[in-house]
Chains A and B, each alone.
Chain A
């Protein structure tokens, strides 16, 4: 549900809340989920993003987000030049997806250590976004909550160990989803929380025995 600062806001660089501000947030989300600055990015634009994206600065906005900018950063129009200065290589191309929202982008990113991540993000209007897939696994979260993304082995009881750490840390869960691609394989558990997570809570979850890696996205403050 929208709060009043979704109505009066965001404070943003134009021209479109969906095609510009939302695109910055998708880029920033991919950067956070990767855990830092990408050195390579492959950006695929679907639907309206592909058709009117250039005129709306969607391409520059996605790159700006990957560089860590927020939707109100006046450097967004210069993001291509800044990417070159920071040594981030990128390509942008159209893609046709089946059953995807018209404002969808798929970002394949890689950091300096060679870690790779693919994020499918959607701009759902008013600058709000939704992440639909991470590395091909279906997810559903929006970044309007503090969000914990845990990739772990599909074993019994791991979820209770994760949520126990949250309980001990005094963190209330707002929404949660769990999705695996096959039995015994990798699981993505997405937990949206009311409170911010302290670094030690995130770290303890990261050391649970079946957890491969954990990423924490803290919601934007005004």
Chain B
């Protein structure tokens, strides 16, 4: 996308008096040479695929290694039986993040957002809102434009792949996108969206990518939960008028810098972190024996 900083988006909003989502939509129309209807249709298709990735969940599926599966169902069953600590919205967010992350590990259909490993974060915050009547489809589509614009800026200035910048680049970026999208959905202005993004990225900065046996399973699925919950807390903070002391573009650049300096062992190579715990190594050996 041609937008290279959050500041550039803010400036366009200031100059044209158009909302955040429309600036992203029009950038997409310019770049791909498509009409507004074409762009919206593709966003709607993406949203429908996200919804389907939630609805198609089956709690009895297990991943290749057998480590992942069933936790989304466990969380829902728990929430159905008693009052949870975190309440109706957050309990469904947690269950959704787990469900979509598990479906991904089980080779089901998901929407990479921005990556497959982080595919649970955006649906986790959006789908429960949509289903409980907290947001109409048209509002969600606009919020998804906001999310994609934020993601494109992060991809340009820093990175969104675990191999390039660790988990902070995947779950961190997804969380920042979700935080900005939620803030927009609840009527936050451009500055508030920027603050939500900055806070979400800061809170997950330094998170390493350390998948056991190199698989997108452990710890990836549960990190989708932390990405979603972090996004919600940052959106609410931004809407309350709480600001990030460090400006958002500087936070994004900083995340990229931390990613580049991160030892290669912590960038999706399965040579560090949880992947080299005795348990992690034992799973790796089991996988090798099977092949």
Contact = CB atoms under 8 A, between A and B. Distances in A.
Contacts of A16: 116-117, 216
Interface residues of B, number: 56
Given A2-B152, A15-B63, A77-B107, A52 B214 contact: yes
Contacts of A21: 112, 116
Interface in A1-36: 1-18, 20-21
Nearest to B117: A16
A210 B106 CA distance: 50
Interface residues of A, number: 36
B144 A8 contact: yes
Interface stretch (B41-49, B86-94, B251-259): B41-49
Contacts of A18: 161, 163
B161 A12 contact: no
Nearest to B25: A4
Interface string B43-80: 10110010000000000000111000000000000000
A1 B215 contact: no
Contacts of B112: 8-12, 17, 21, 126-127
B45 A14 contact: no
A76 interface: yes
A87 interface: no
Given A4-B152, A8-B147, A14 B107 contact: yes
A72 B109 contact: yes
Contact of A5 (B46, B64, B269): B46
Given A3-B28, A125-B164, 11 more contacts: A1-B2, A4-B28, A4-B145, A7-B147, A10-B111, A11-B110, A21-B112, A48-B269, A54-B64, A55-B214, A194-B33
Q: Which 4 A-B pairs have the closest CB atoms?
A: A14-B104, A52-B214, A7-B151, A4-B148
